[in-house]
Amino acid sequence: MNKPLSLRQNLLPQMIRNSEAAWARHNYEQAIEILEQAGRLAPNEPHIWLYLGRCHGMRYDYVAAERYFEKAVRVEGWKTESFLKAGRYCLSFRGYEMAARLFERALKRDEKANEILVELARIYLRQGRLHDATGLLDRASQLNHDFTPMLLVRARLHRLAGQLEEAEKILRSFVTRPEANGWVRAEGWYELGSTLDRQGRYDEAMKAFLEAKSVKLPVTAPPGINSRTAEAGMKQMVDFLSTGAMQHWREPDGASPQRRLALLCGHPRSGTTLLEQVLDSHPEIVSAEETQIFYEEAFVPFTRGLSPESISLMPILESVSPERLRRAREDYFGCIERFIGQAVGARLLIDKNPSLTSLLPAFIRVFPEARFLIAIRDPRDVCLSCFMQPLFPTTPSSSTYSSLEAAAAEYTSIMGLWQALKPHMPCPFLEVRYEEVTNNLEPVARRTLEFLGVPWDKRVLTFQQHTRKLVRSPTYGDVKKPISRGAIGRWRHYQKYFEPHLEKLEPFVKAFGYG
């Protein structure tokens, strides 16, 4: 009679730890298999089904993810808290539509679920449903007018609507509360900084951004690939490139079909979201936005079985077998199609992914037929934008934007790598300037489409009307707005803060023509 209790107390926790360990080794299939075994042993444990839903969501199998979340909620008796946990797991892999469906169902059962009202309002803001978000926030305010997550979202709503004084008043009402949740306070200070910046109160804005960064938050996600790859392998990569060895990577193997594919990269905050939205409005183009698919499906399998200390990018790429390359291509496109929820077919796929700038050689190795769009923007504006942008969850990579000094160092690392790689690029590439896109879109769009081998379509000039998908980038609030030139030269408002770091950025300012 004690066997089920013994399983729950001993075997299940160990199985979950084993699953987590397999996931950390990027052995996703094994991690999921262990959890499924645990579910068979203890079918009434909702957290197992929640973990399975999250795992499948992170593997872009959204149908399976939603099925397991449904099971978790049902096993736990349709409680409001169950819907909230499942929805937040969806948000962890940016499954906003799935989370909205869960939250909407929860509100039908419990109209006074304050946390769910606020979480759903956040999603509606991202979807551009400002009126619906306002209604939810009004309901939440009636339940608790001082609920700080509600105040944060309401302030953001005011900022997006241009009601800056109202936003500032709300934000100042809670950002200094010591009892407020750390995440909410940090987001509040970032919101206040953006609000003050838009009012031209730049010294106050800088103070608010520094306050946001002073809030101690845990690092909750694994390292990004930018700084890790660029810092560890730049010299070795440059030495390898000088031999011209990448040229032979472009020779077709004849075993894999050629793909219509372009990588849109560059440094984060260089205008990649704007350019992607322009191109995605073309009927012959489909885009995927900032996923880890290439890294997880193509690059990581090349390194499996190697210790982190022995991973050296270029020798690994040089020695990878044709069979592994073929498998990487197939797995990549399979995951991409699950992520976008449709077949790519004969259309051109654009992978918008600044984080892959440091893995350009790997992308060339796997897809030698690819073309490359490199987003370029004034380095000083890029660093300021990175510094000002709230990046949650906090990662070692996003933590490099904790100061202007750190942001400048990161920029020189990533774009220094591009500068070193550029003379040796065996594939076609085009640098696209953010300032040119915002100042005169049509000639830039024509040039870019011609480079991509796609016919002209005037819909790209009115891309805001043809946006077909939810934007996952932090700049989602600007997508539906007319193109603004207000961010050009913004760094000059903060020039005195930039002075100690301008020398480091100066070579890139000159190289990219911003001197």
Give the residue with greater pLDDT, 245 vs 137: 137
Strands 348-352 and 285-289: parallel
Average pLDDT over residues 449-472: 83
Confidence (pLDDT) at 448: 98
Confidence (pLDDT) at 232: 53
DSSP 314: H
DSSP 345: T
Token pair recorded at residue 245 = 């060895």
Residue with tokens 């077998």: 321
Structure confidence by residue, pLDDT tens digits, 395-404 = 545 567 889 9
DSSP 459: G
Query: Which of these ranges, 84-98, 123-137, 190-204, 300-314, has the smallest mean pLDDT?
Result: 300-314
pLDDT above 70 (res 335): yes
Residue pair 75/106 in contact (Cβ under 8 Å)? The answer is no
Percent of the chain with pLDDT over 70: 86
Type and span of the H or E element at 264:
strand 261-266
At residue 136 the predicted structure's pLDDT band, cuts being 50, 70 and 90, is very high
Give the residue with greater pLDDT, 399 vs 148: 148
* Cα 119 from chain centre: 19
Structure confidence by residue, pLDDT tens digits, 219-233 = 555 444 444 444 556
Confidence (pLDDT) at 182: 86
Residue pair 287/9 in contact (Cβ under 8 Å)? The answer is no
DSSP 215: S
Alpha carbons 446 and 495: distance in angstroms, whole number = 35
Token pair recorded at residue 217 = 């938050």
Query: Which of these ranges, 117-121, 359-363, 491-495, has the smallest mean pLDDT?
Result: 359-363
Give the residue with greater pLDDT, 367 vs 252: 367
Cα Rg for the chain, rounded, in angstroms? 24
Spatial CB neighbours of 156, under 8 Å, sequence gap ≥ 6:
125, 167, 191
Tell me the backbone φ, ψ of residue 232, rounded to 5 degrees. Answer: -75, -30
Query: Which of these ranges, 46-60, 140-154, 255-269, 448-462, has the smallest mean pLDDT?
Result: 255-269
Q: How far is CA 256 from CA 286, 327, 367, in A?
A: 21, 10, 10
Domain ranges of the chain: 146-217, 226-244+260-468+479-511
Give the residue with greater pLDDT, 257 vs 475: 257
pLDDT above 90 (res 515): no
Confidence (pLDDT) at 483: 67
Average pLDDT over residues 421-444: 94
DSSP 297: I
pLDDT above 60 (res 179): yes
Confidence (pLDDT) at 402: 86
Tell me the backbone φ, ψ of residue 321, rounded to 5 degrees. Answer: -80, 155
Structure confidence by residue, pLDDT tens digits, 340-381 = 999 999 999 999 999 999 899 999 999 999 999 999 999 999
Average pLDDT over residues 277-284: 95
Which SS3 state, helix, strand or coil, does residue 377 take?
coil
pLDDT above 90 (res 8): no
Confidence (pLDDT) at 220: 53
Which SS3 state, helix, strand or coil, does residue 337 take?
helix
Spatial CB neighbours of 147, under 8 Å, sequence gap ≥ 6:
114, 118, 140, 141
CATH of 146-217, one of 3.40.1440.60, 1.10.645.10, 3.60.110.10, 1.25.40.10: 1.25.40.10
Confidence (pLDDT) at 501: 93
Type and span of the H or E element at 266:
strand 261-266
pLDDT above 80 (res 241): no
Confidence (pLDDT) at 203: 97
pLDDT above 50 (res 491): yes
Confidence (pLDDT) at 181: 82
How buried is residue 178: exposed, middle or buried, by Cβ count under 10 Å (0-12/13-18/19+)?
A: exposed
Confidence (pLDDT) at 118: 97
Class of domain 226-244+260-468+479-511: alpha beta
Token pair recorded at residue 274 = 């704007």
